[in-house]
Structures are given as C-alpha cells and as structure tokens.
Structure 1
Amino acid sequence: MEIEFTKYHGLGNDFILIDNRTDRKPMVTSEQAIQLCSRHFGIGADGVIFALPGQDGTDYSMRIFNSDGSEPEMCGNGIRCLAQFLSDLEGDNAKTQYRIHTLAGVIIPKLEGNGKVRVDMGIPLLMAAQIPTTLAAADEKAINTPLEVALQVWQVTCVSMGNPHAITFVEDVAAIPLETIGPLFEHHPVFPQRTNTEFIQVVRRDYLKMRVWERGAGITLACGTGACAAVVAGVLTGNCDRACTVELPGGCLEIEFSEVDQRVYMTGPAELVFTGNISLI
C-alpha cells in the first residue's frame, strides 16, 4: 500500500501527518508507525498523526501513534502541526480556528497568520487519580512530593494535560543524565500508565528552561503538553509566573496559565518539512 504523507515539526518535535479524513480508522497500524518513525529505516519522526473525520460536533479528530507504537491521548506540538496541515489541505477554504476531538477532549488551535499557532489546551487536571499516580491519595494533589529515582530523592509535581506529566525543578537541566534517568521515571510503578517527565530550570520567574523525556518517544527536542504542565507546576509550587517563555532544546514556547479561566494557552510554530509517498510493507 502506498500512502501520501506530509512531515511537519514544532520546535524540532517532528511528525508524519496523514490525511485520513475519509475514514475513522487510521490507515496505518501501530506496527507500521514504528517503521515509518524509524530514523534509519523509515521517514523518521517522533510520531504519526492522523487527520480523521470530526465527531461530537468537532471539525476533525486527531489520533497519534508514538515512535514506539503506543497511542498517547494528546500532543501539544502535534496539534499545532495538525492545525497547519488542515489549513494547508483546505487551501482557500481554510479556517483560522479548528475544534479538534482528541482522546484528551476537545482542543481548539487558532492559526495566527505569522507562522505560529495558539492553542487553548484546556484546564489542567491535578488530582492524583486524574494523572494517574499513586504519589498521593486519589482525591489529593501531588505537589512537591518526594519520589526516589536512581537512588536520589526528587521533588515531583504531577499534572495532567490530558496526558500524564511529572515535573521536577533542578538547578541545571544540562546536568541531567536524561538518557538513563528518563526511562526510570517513565516506568516508575507510581505511574500506572507511565509518565512524561520534565526537568525544569528557573532562569527567571517568566523564563524556564526545560528538558523532557516523553512517554513512548524518549528524548525529544520539544513537548508542548510538557511545557504547559511545567508552567502549571511552577505556579503551584511558587516557582514561576502565570505567563512564561519555556525554552526547549528545539526553541521556545509561550505558555499562559490564565488566572481568569484557569485554562492553559500555548503559542508556538508549526513548520512544513517535506511531502512524499511511501510504500508500506
């Protein structure tokens, strides 16, 4: 089977986008997604994203397979890329704003016309059962909670942006041995559905540096939901302001945790890389 694809990236977090608008079932299996995402034997990407027909009154639906074949609930950089992909597909009929159904709920990205997309990421979930994590009682929050990983105690704050995040603030993100410690966080038994992990350095109250280990993808250059979760955690722990620039290895995102409506807003780029056709085995 031959499929058409388009590759986009958001701050180096790269995705293969597939026009799947005529069928609710992804045309690529999770096993084939692993093949496509291989950087040596395939196209190379952090994940495959499908533009599916809308449901429950939305314009479109979004599904994702990570590079390991797992399916996350949502992806912040990915949904910006999807919004740009949909706009490019629609051409002259393109909207400036879309309502997109995801496994994390309805997400609303808005194309700003300057190469950036602003996304209403919704209200963060904070109760331990919602993350999910056993670091706290089900109806309590895990904020600055001690967790032993690799013979070291880390102060961890847990946030769900529709997908699970464990955030810890450190003196120097560059000193974190991400390749070895990331998997230990991801697969720690206190996270029954595994977790994304963000290591955050506070440069100023309105400027954070972040490195991330993504559940199902490993080290990536950027994570949109992770940046959102980091600012939420920073506000909860008193480490940062509600509006922050978050610097990731691939570039910067602007994150606002609104005091008015308690929703999180993310603004960042979505850039076309190339288009092509590939035959799937």
Structure 2
Amino acid sequence: MALRFTKMHGIGNDFVVLDGRHADPALPVSTIRAMADRHTGVGFDQLLSVEPPRDPSCAFYYGIWNADGSPSGQCGNGVRCVAAWLHRAGELAIGETFRVESPSGAVAIRLLAADRVAVDMGEPRFATAQIPFDAAHEADSYPLAVAGGSVDVGVVSMGNPHAVMLVDDLASPALLELGPAITAHPRFADGANAGFVRKLDRQHLQLRVHERGAGWTQACGTGACAAMAVLRRRGAVDASVQVALPGGSLQIDWSGPGHTLWMTGPAAFVFDGEWLASASMD
C-alpha cells in the first residue's frame, strides 16, 4: 500500500504532511514511528494531517502526532507548513486570512507570501490547571526539583505545555540532562516542552527546546511563543521579539494580557513521496 506524503520544515523543525481532506489519514502508532525513523524511514519531528474541520467556523482541521506516535495539541512551525501546503493545493491565497482548527482549538493564519506565514496563536495561558502544572498558586516562576538540584522555571500553555528556563549558556552540557528531566517531570501531568532561553536584549532571544515526544529539535514554534510570553509577563522583553533557534529565527509579537500572540516565520517544502513499507501499517 502506498501512502502519499509531503516532507516540509519550518526553520529545521521537520514534518510529514498527509492529505486527509477526502480520506481518513489515521495511522497506527507503529507506522508513525517507522516513518519518523531518521535512518530507516522518512524522518520527522511531527506528522501532520490536513482534514475537514470539526468546527464549522474553520476551513480545515490539522492533526499532530509526535515522532513517538503520541498526539500533540499544537505546533507553531507545523501550522505554518499547513498554511503553505494549503496554498500549494489551491485552498489559500496570498494575503488571505482564515481559521484552521488544531487539536487544542482554532487559530487564524495569514499567508504573507508562498513561504512566509503569520499565525494568531491565541492568548498564552498561565493558569496552572490549564497547562496542567501542579502548583498551589499561580506565579511568574516556580522552583522545580530536578536532576539532583533545583531550577526556576516559568510555565505556560500555548495549546501545549511549556517550561521556560533562563540560562547564560545554551551549549552547557547540563542542559542535556535537564531537558529530558523537565520534559518528564511529574509536576507536569501531560509532560512538557522544556525551553532554555538566553536573553540578548529586550528584542532578541536565543532558544533551545527539548520537546516531549520528539526530543531536541532544530526549532519549536510554540516554544518560541512560550519563551517570549514568560519573559514578557515579567516585563523583561518588548512587545515584538526575534527568537533565534538552531534552525532559524521567528518573530513573536504579544502586547500582553488581554491580547493574542502572533508568530511569523517561514515554511519550506522538501519533497513529495510515497511510503511503501506496508508491513508497518498492519
């Protein structure tokens, strides 16, 4: 059985996109994992499916699965790729804004060019129950016992849970242990994406992210949103920030509470192909 797919990436955060507009694209976990393998499969951080909307106010729905086959609620780099894919499929015109539905709710997307997309990611959610994160009271930062010590993290949901930690050195070997430990910390009931951010000035950040279900990635769109939102809430950055990740940069704009956050960045096609490993689909 041949499964048609498109390989895409947003500043190095890579995806396989499936066309589910006319047929159910659901795949077993074994197939997702086999396709995600970077040695024997296609290789990707997340798999995306473009489907008819569940919400009648939206034009399309997109599903998200991590490389380990687990579902995800949101993917900032992924939704930009979905927008570019829809444009190539003749569903979205340059300059047009419309709503698409993610597993965590609707978002507005605006196609600025064939390869550049702005996304309304909604308002960051800091209420601990909405992340979810185990804490008695909401705060700007929380001490987290991890890796034999304690670190301070900000927590926020951008449709998926994030922990954000300020660091001086993104190349520190300590992060290799801290990333997976924070991602799997029991105070995050659903796990978390662990973001390590270095502040250069009020308009420029550097970021490295360990994603739940995918590990260390070249970029994480919701992670960039989360890092900016946590620091903006503390008054540490301006309303428009450039976030540099290993794979490239994103522009994040957020005026603060009561406003939605916008993320702007590129989307790129890599190749189209067919997955022929029918044994993995049993």
1:49 paired residue number: 48
Residue 204 of structure 1 aligns with an amino acid whose one-letter code is D
User: SS where residue 90 of structure 2 aligns?
Assistant: helix
Contact 1:202–1:208 (8 Å) recurs in 2:
yes
Residues 198-240 of structure 1, C-alpha deviations (whole Å, 9 max, x = no match): 0010001110000000011000000000100101100122322
| 1:3-35 Cα deviation digits (max 9, x unpaired) | 111111000000000101113x43322221111
Instruction: Look up the SS of the partner of 2:233 in the other structure.
Output: helix
**1:29 corresponds to which residue?**
28
- The CA deviation string for residues 37-75 of structure 1, in whole angstroms up to 9 with x for no partner, is 110010111111000111222110010111011001010
Query: Partner residue of 2:270?
Result: 273
- Partners of 2:202 and 2:84 lie apart in 1 by 31
Which of 176, 181, 200 is 1:179 aligned to?
Answer: 176
Q: 1:81-137, CA deviations, whole angstroms, 9 ceiling, x for partnerless residues? A: 011111111278788333111111101111101621000000111111011010x22
Stretch of structure 1 that moved more, 258-267 or 91-100: 91-100
Give the letter for the 2:234 counterpart: T
Relative to structure 1, the CA distance from residue 260 to residue 131 in structure 2 (aligned partners, 3 Å threshold; closer, same or farther) is closer
Residue 121 to residue 91, structure 1, CA distance change in 2 (3 Å): closer
What SS does the corresponding residue of 2:171 show, helix, strand or coil? Answer: helix
2:14 paired with 1:5: no
- Cα distance in 1 between the residues matched to 2:252 and 2:194: 18
Aligned partners of 1:121 and 1:16: how far apart in 2?
A: 21
Q: Which amino acid aligns with 1:200?
A: V
- How many angstroms apart in 1 are the aligned matches of 2:139 and 2:247? 29
The 8 Å contact of residues 11 and 269 in structure 1, kept in 2 or not, is answered as yes
Matched, 1:225 2:222: yes
Residue 151 of structure 2: SS of its match in structure 1? strand
User: Residues 231 and 30 (structure 1 numbering): CA distance in 2 closer, same or farther, change over 3 Å?
Assistant: same
User: For 1:264, which of 257, 261, 265 is the aligned residue?
Assistant: 261
Q: Secondary structure at the match of 2:176?
A: helix
Match of 2:146 in 1: 149
**Contact kept in structure 1, 2:123 and 2:257, CA below 8 Å:** no
Number of the residue aligned with 2:109: 109
Superposition RMSD on alpha carbons, in Å?
1.7
Q: Does 1:163 align with 2:189?
A: no
Structure 2 residue 242 is matched with structure 1 residue 245: yes
* Seq. identity, %: 40
Query: Is the CA contact 1:142–1:156 (under 8 Å) kept in the aligned structure 2?
Result: no
Residue 67 (structure 2) aligns with: 67
Please list every run of at least 4 consecutive aligned residues from structure 1 whose deviation after the TM superposition is greater than 6 angstroms: 91-95
CA spacing shift, 1:278–1:224, aligned 2, 3 Å: same
**AA paired with 2:54?**
Q
Instruction: Report if the CA contact (8 A) 1:86-1:94 is conserved.
Output: no
Distance of 1:250 and 1:93 partners within structure 2: 27
Letter in 2 for 1:251: G
Inter-CA distance 132–176: structure 2 relative to 1 (3 Å threshold): farther
- Contact preservation (8 Å) 1:84, 1:111: yes
Equivalent runs, 1:184-195 vs 2, <5 Å = 184-195=181-192
TM-score between the two structures when normalised by the length of structure 1: 0.94
Give the secondary-structure state (helix, strand or coil) at the position aligned to 1:99. Answer: strand
Conserved? CA contact 1:178–1:213, under 8 Å: no
Mark the CA change 1:143 to 1:261 in structure 2 (over 3 Å): closer, same or farther: closer
* Contact 2:198/2:206 (8 A) holds in 1: yes
- CA distance in structure 2 between the aligned counterparts of 1:108 and 1:17, rounded to whole angstroms: 19
Matched, 1:198 2:186: no
Structure 1, gaps ≥5 residues long: none
Unaligned runs of 5+ in 2: none
**Preserved CA contact (<8 Å) 2:84 2:114:** no
| Kept in 1: contact 2:95–2:113 (CA 8 A) | no
Task: Report the equivalent of 1:124.
Answer: 124
SS of residue matched to 1:69: coil
